[in-house]
Structure 1
Amino acid sequence: MDILTITAILGAILLLLLAGGLWIGATLMVVGYIALDIFSPAPAGSLLATTLWDHSWGWALTALPLFVWMGEILFRARLSEDMFAGLAPWLDRLPGRLLHVNIVGCGVMAAVAGSSAVTAATVGRMSLPELKSRGYSETMAIGTLAGSGTLGLLIPPSIMMIVYGISAQQSISRLFIAGIVPGLLIMGLFMGYVMIWSAFNRDKVPAAAERLPLVEKLRRSRRLIPVMLLIFAVIGSIYGGYATPTEAATLGVFGALGLAALSDALSWHTFTESLLAATRTSCMIIAIILGAAFLSVGMAFLGIPVTLAEWVSGLGLSPGMLLALLTLIYVVLGCFLEGASMIVLTTSVALPMVVAAGFDPIWFGIYLIVVVEMAQLTPPVGFNLFVLHGMSGRDMWTVTRASLPFFALLVLGVVLLAIFPGLATYLPDLMLSR
């Protein structure tokens, strides 16, 4: 039986198990075991044990649950209320006015939570009712939240960056630094679109509120400023070389606990609730990483990555066409898989191809995460669409239609990254040269 036929069989088994509702991590392990036990002479049981052990511990992996816990603590610390009250006075004079609160608020929350769905849910919980009561377009309110919620994957500290760093064996610190400029670029594209939209839809943007003096703006932002300082401390400690991602995550957890205590949001109930939520999320992601690691071993024994790479090379694609093909594949995968699964499942195959085409692995990580952001907005498994469908009460088609302009802006972001790779590589290279 040739490799392409075996690959098709394994792919069909993978889809059937996922459609049957089996956990993603377990599905990947089952498919990997079938690949080794049926299609190769390798000892599947021994390889399963050694692979799970080798990939279940490591210094880089310890940063993941800590950053997840940091986000869960601040998620329960009334951050959404503080965010709207703190940002609104500063953004009310921009064209589009308080719609920018969704974008900037998601950018701030992204640096806290590292999760797309949590980012959209936290900001939307307060902003959707506020914007609706003030007469803003509900379509734009939903669209800005759907698009900006994806920033949770890109702006460091990002859980997806940790997943990619572990899967591709790349520096998580460099990935965090590489995500700063592209994250700000995506935010700028979103804000620019809102400004242009508001110029053509003045009747859908309420008048500005009364201008506030600087002292009053600072007073209303008093609870948000400590969160911003915590974010700068976490990212700054990594960029300055004072802490590893794990040490910075530890700093973030203690800082988040301190802020929650100061805001009277820390109780034994919220402490245990945040810890259990972080444990569930971390175990889910780590199970996917372990399952994908074992499946990668099975694929390697069968020679599937090499065969696919040779097949793609035989197509004679230029680097640009290769990226276009990969982007299309990832968008299709995003219709059925969530972000972590997409990254760990495809990295072992895609990374050698893009490196052979001359692309930097750190740059590819940022590109991949932006493409995964696009997948958060593709039905039927776009997590941000599900979140906003539940929060807004609107049907999935309405939410999807509202997010389309922001999907297009993410496509533009990918194009800009491909044309100007320095957007992702300049800061990490600068950090490396210091």
Structure 2
Amino acid sequence: MTRLIVTTKGLLAIQMPMLLVGSLAAIIILIDVFLPFTSAYADVLPAYILYLAFFTAVFVIYSVLAVVLEAAYPPSQRLSSLSDACKAGRMATCMTFACFISVTSLLALIVDRAVYQDVNFLAQSFVEIRSRLNAEREPGSGISSVYSVFGNLFQFSYFFSFICLVYYAEVLTRLRCAVYLFFIAFCLLGGSYILGGRTIIGLFVLTLLAILVARVVAGRSSVRDLFNVRVLVGLALLLVSFVGIVGYVFYARASVSGLDSATYLHNFALHLHGRAISYNASCEVVWCDMANYLQLSGIYVTHVLWVMAENIADSNSEPEGAPVFGGVLVILAKVIGPLSDQYEFAGLFNSLPGSLYYQYGGAGVALGALLIGSFFAFAVNWLRRRGTVSSLMIFYILFMVLLVAPVLSAFNIIAFVFVLFALSFVGIIYLAGVSMGKGRQL
């Protein structure tokens, strides 16, 4: 007879991902409420309602299905299927290969940027590099070089190594962990500088958070382990560092533009389709400048609600562009030309529910919540029952879609699309190696 009991420990483990996503969505709304800025063109209250309705629907759908699956198909009592020496060895080999190909890809990108796109890494700041790359080529004008193709497709292969390093730390020696961490850090910082952006660092931080949660979901760590002082301090430092990097980028851009913090904040708020309510940005002391750049960091995230408010207020207009899968279309446009109209909110963030509403209307939001909640419930159950590299990667991809959803559609992030390609590439090699190992044992 099928066991129809879900323990409190199991229930907490399967709810951990959605509690985190829901908290992020709620925090964004709270920040927007308390910031002295709001949408310049629409009432944000309908956006709050639709935004919360989407994440509530995902939570309910996921929770019901996850509990049913947990009761019908209880998780494995083993720590990991990687206790098999063949699989553990193949994983370590693929982690080494992933680091190697990532370093090679970075070298290819350096050649492409320096030789074919006239980027001077020694003389230009990362802000200037980013501006240069943003204006480099029109969609459909072709690729700059074969080095660019190879570098972009494979530079994020080290994410496979990082995911396995965090999740399967118990099966790796300390020396291996140290070596992998060195190459992962090199690829992360090198890639961020070469591309001149913050997206890679943001994805890396979210990936770390996603895999720590995956360990709790699979039973490799407890909730108490996730919320111990060391982990919380580490995550807090990463968050502060990331906010500091974002603030510094705003400072660098303001300096390059020759603007003070107050003027840059005002102009940036207008660019994000916002307006000040009561905030007096003008100041003459450094602390006030820091406050301005902190405000910039805040509206840089919360303007997703302003964009959604405009979408709702102008819901009768025909959508232009494809914000749900925009990153994929941009990559394809480099080769075969534009596949959709120019997105009218290009350069701004639009959350996943906002993107779904803009492109497919209310029915799209409802269907999106149903599909995401359902698929993620199956992914969580598979990870808890199997604990394999394949189940881990599927969980990671779907959880990243949810983690990013309060701010963007994950498939509208070009770097994330390349991460998916690299993970698929290394993952296929891993599965092929495991299959070959099994064949030799028969």
Superposition TM-score, scaled by structure 2 size: 0.28
Which one has the bigger helix percentage?
A: 1
